Structure 1
Amino acid sequence: MDSLQVSEQEQATEAPRKYSREHSERFRHELHEFIRIPSLSGDPARAGDVKRAAEWLAAHLHALGIKNAKVMPTGGHPVVYAEWMGAGPNKPTVLVYGHYDVVPAEMKDGWNTPPFEPVERGGKIYARGATDDKGQLFIHVKALESYLEASGGAPVNVKFLIEGEEEISSPNLAPFIKRNLKLLKSDVCVISDSGMRAIEEPAIAHSLRGMTYIELEVQGPKEDLHSGFWGGATHNPALALVEILSKLYKPDNTIAVPGFYDDVVPLTAKEREMISKAALTEKQFKEATGVPAVWGDKKYTIRERLSARPTLEINGMWSGYSGPGPKTIIPARAGAKVSCRLVGDQDPDKIYKLLSKYIESITPPTVKVKVTLLTKGKPALIPFDLPEMQAAERAYEKGWGHKPIFTRGGGSIPIVADIYNMMNIPVVMMGYGLESDGLHSPNEHYTIEMFHRGVETAIVYLGELAQLPRKKVRK
């Protein structure tokens, strides 16, 4: 790209960037209104609020001049779809994915202020959904508004796919996409639902971990037994459960399930070098988590363990009596929830089968075990040298003010792999949050400066995509 093209591109983005700065306070107030709707997708009692959030967002997009913004049904909570195709057929089309649903939040969880009444304090917005994901998805809404109002149109076509079930593993989104491939047809998908370590260190995630989540139940006697009458000859299900769980890992802190690592794509030297740019020291890890020492496979760095390696975690356990005072029983049952974060090219169904087979093989003959698959999601591993990725890198440099690093995300966004595979387009994960934003935790917050920098970066990214040769954008 020559200097004249650069100058023209910068001029094309300057007017919408200026508009976004002039209307920044209004943007935040509108975000507050959006956040106030308690769209808890996992709570059936809040189904009405989830629908209200979808309708609010569709109406807001419609008011910006996107005439066909609409709420579309799924097998569960609805999807908000909208499109602005004013750039014409010779320009690329960008699909913006996000989610308007949130996880539960109550004052008793440790919130300092009501979780659905946004409060600006110390340069941050405190509220549930502020960063995950209402604040980050709203960035793209405001970026398009800035183009439409300041320039009369955007340099590329833009479609929105905003779901209401991400926090419950998106059970109905993949079928929706499959039914609507023609409607959703695009050249690239951009997602903002991730974070960076520090505001001066923007990050583009090119990988996310998948998920296999199981529940196992150990059955012993037909009912709770008196521990005095039957103890000593009855294998306690709680003890059997602990014995099973203790064999899921080897002494070197690697997962003991045979075949678990077979499909893991090895880290290349270049990838390890890139991951090292976001290195986490043992001191930083202990300060962030409060643990007395770091744990895990010593063949990998802390950051690699957190993002580029698969895991197996015990998420919960239950059995017997836990009320006040004694109750001397042998419980009839014991159970646990276990989740595995997966990396490319691990298959969640295969991991479930391997887990089930192994757990059954190590279960003592004195008890019975049942393993149930609760949820799953495929990992996503996307090349970071794609033109769309490099365009994002330039957008951060110009719009954010710092060159980003490419990282692997430790969490899961279930639909990323589905979009990448079903739609056959690159997925660019441009996170505008901080790792310390407290998503899913009490006092979730979003830095105001990052919200406004995000709008400007999203504006620049659309401009950068418009410069890509069409044959390189269309996959």
Structure 2
Amino acid sequence: MSDSIASVVSYLESHDAQYLEELIDFLKIPSISALSPHQGDVRQAAEWLQERLKRAGLDDARLVETPGHPVVLAHYGHDPRKPTVVVYGHYDVQPVDPEALWRHPPFEPTIENDIIYARGASDDKGQVYMQLIAAEAWIRATGDLPVNLVFFVEGEEEIGSPHLRAVIESHQAELQANFAVISDTPMYQGNIPAICYGLRGLAALDVRIDGPFQDLHSGVYGGAVMNPAHALAGLIQSLHTPDGRVAVEGFYDDVAPLTATERDAFARLPFDEEAYREALGVPQLFGEAGYTPLERTWARPTIEVNGMWSGFLGEGRKTIIPSSAFAKLTCRLVPYQDPDKVLDQVIAHLHRHLPPGVRLTVTRGDSAPGSLTPLDHPAVKAAEQAIQAVFQQDPAYIRMGGSIPVVVDFQDVLQMPTVLLGFALPDENFHAPNEHFHLRNFRAGAKTIAHFWRFASEK
């Protein structure tokens, strides 16, 4: 197998110029899923990827139609002696506004100092293509792959993947695998390769407080009725203790504590708390007592106010008691917390703390649980060995504070764990002007993925 991987790496290196030309062609397609005038461009990107997968050696590459943009689905190998891996990614991209802030036109890829600038360079076309060329290099250099592969690439990730779960449910037989791998995440700061093994989930709700039948004159009625804005402010305040801990009864019941190994691993990561504070522009950091900023954002649950409003917001002053007040809340949840249970707890807390004289209406929003891949899972160990082989260093084991819905879908529908193995850098401007991808990491990422499949086949 060592001879095989050497030939695969050699193939990648000898075809570097071709791969850069093709990556540029892929990035030129303005596949902005959020904007209806680009519907045809999104399909063009799907068809480009379908054809490129066929040329790589995945003969059954096809488009799976949805009510929105298609999913690209392709297979290689059905050998029951080999593990099967699902490669997920997305070929759609974010809008480019404000375009005036781009150094180069966003769909005219430009390479400067071995960095490629274009929308989608790192999120996620560059990383999807990186997975593709790793597969092609194995097939062309050795005639086979050490694993069975399923490419599953969607065109709606940037608009919330509204049709993806239905596709997963209707294609369960084709998606059965030992694990999935996603390259749509960053490395740790400073170019440190990372394996992400945990994501937080989400539970959202909208809160409405109603008082009098209409806005009232604050001089005539002030002191006689409860002000809905005051009531809302009090409810929001009641959700936390002064030291930042969530005060909702039962909120932490199902939260698994961080292990000593995890806390030690997080503590050994390079992290400048003062630089972090300064970059955020806040006078001091704040959060749940007893935990570091990394622990709070990666592995502790939260309740956050995303927006709140009430009364007169125009220029000048209008002396009223508003009739209503509103807030949007989200909970970031850690693995093992049930979103429905947490929403029940938060709603019960709001009713218990509702002051007299107002009415409360709560509307549930989107929700998804967190996810966790065990550190001793064979896929995680294979990823560790692959990083060591290419980068000559141990990976950082990290969690992420955000959510990736497809990871939950794979977990719920297919009972399949996911390894998040991305090679972008945190400051490469995903979703912002001047998105870019360091080509050294594009090349190293392709080699790491090639090694990853080799080590996965040996587990």
- 1:272 match: 263
Structure 1: gaps (5+ residues): 1-8, 469-475
Give secondary structure in 2 for the equivalent of 1:196. Answer: coil
* Distance apart, 1:404 and its partner CA: 0.8
- Tell me the distance in 2 between the aligned counterparts of 1:237 and 1:119: 54
Does residue 1:456 correspond to 2:447, yes or no? yes
Q: 2:53 aligns with which of 56, 61, 66?
A: 61
How far apart are the structure 2 equivalents of 1:311 and 1:111? Answer: 35
* Structure 2 counterpart of 1:21: 13
Query: 1:178 maps to what in 2?
Result: 169
**Residues of 2 paired with 1:237 and 1:105: CA distance?**
40
Alignment match, 1:351: 342
Equivalent residue, structure 1, for 2:196: 205
Please state if 1:134 is matched with 2:134.
Answer: no
Report what 1:407 is aligned to: 398
Residue 74 of structure 2 corresponds to 82
Deviations 1:132-151 (A, max 9, x none): 22222221111112222333
Q: 1:373, CA displacement in angstroms?
A: 2.3
Q: What CA distance in whole angstroms lies between the structure 2 residues aligned with 1:457 and 1:168?
A: 29
Structure 1 residues 116, 172: CA separation in 2 closer, same or farther (over 3 Å shift)? Answer: same
2:415 counterpart of 1:416: no
Distance 2:17 2:211 in 1: 61
2:428 paired residue number: 437
Residue 425 of structure 1 pairs with residue 430 of structure 2: no
Question: Which runs of no fewer than 5 residues in structure 2 stay unpaired?
Answer: none
Partner of 2:4: 12
AA aligned opposite 2:47: E
The answer to whether structure 1 residue 338 and structure 2 residue 308 are counterparts is no
**Paired amino acid for 1:58:** Q
In 2, distance between residues paired with 1:113 and 1:244? 48
Decide which moves more: 118-127 or 290-299. Answer: 118-127
Contact 2:107 2:118 in 1 (8 A): yes
* TM-align CA RMSD: 2.5
For 1:310, the equivalent position in structure 2 comes to 301
Offset, 1:54:
2.5
Distance change in 2, residues 1:58/1:256 (3 Å): same
Report if the CA contact (8 A) 1:41-1:50 is conserved.
yes
Q: What's the secondary structure of 2:429's corresponding residue?
A: coil
Confirm whether residue 363 of structure 1 aligns to residue 354 of structure 2.
Answer: yes
Question: In the alignment, which of 44, 48, 53 is matched to residue 52 of structure 1?
Answer: 44
Kept in 2, the 8 Å contact 1:72–1:78? The answer is yes
% identical equivalent positions: 42
Give the letter for the 2:56 counterpart.
L
1:3 aligned partner? none
Give the direction of change, closer, same or farther, for the CA distance of 1:289–1:109 in structure 2 (3 Å limit).
Answer: farther
Superposition deviation, residue 114 in structure 1? 4.0
Cα distance in 1 between the residues matched to 2:348 and 2:35: 33
- TM, length-normalised to structure 2: 0.91
**Deviations 1:264-310, CA, capped at 9 Å, x for gaps:** 01111112122223252322322442322111123112211120111
Distance 1:26 1:360, change over 3 A: farther
Amino acid at match of 1:295: F
The residue type equivalent to 1:423 in the other structure is: L
Seen in structure 2, the aligned counterparts of structure 1 residues 213 and 459 have a Cα distance that, compared at 3 Å, is same
User: 1: CA distance between counterparts of 2:358 and 2:39?
Assistant: 40
8 A contact 2:188–2:396 mirrored in 1: no
Matched, 1:164 2:135: no
Secondary structure of the residue that 2:93 maps to in structure 1? Answer: coil
How far apart, in 2, do the equivalents of 1:34 and 1:228 lie? 64
Which residue in the other structure is 2:24 paired with? 32
Kindly tell me the number of residue pairs found equivalent between the two proteins.
Answer: 459
Name the counterpart of 2:95: 104
8 Å CA contact 1:211, 1:341 repeated in 2? yes
Moved more, 275-284 or 230-239: 230-239
Contact 2:56 / 2:133 at 8 angstroms: preserved in 1?
no
Partner residue in 1 for 2:135: 144
Letter of the 1:381 counterpart:
L
Alpha-carbon distance in 2 for matches of 1:49, 1:334: 42
Higher mean Cα deviation, 152-161 or 106-115?
Answer: 106-115
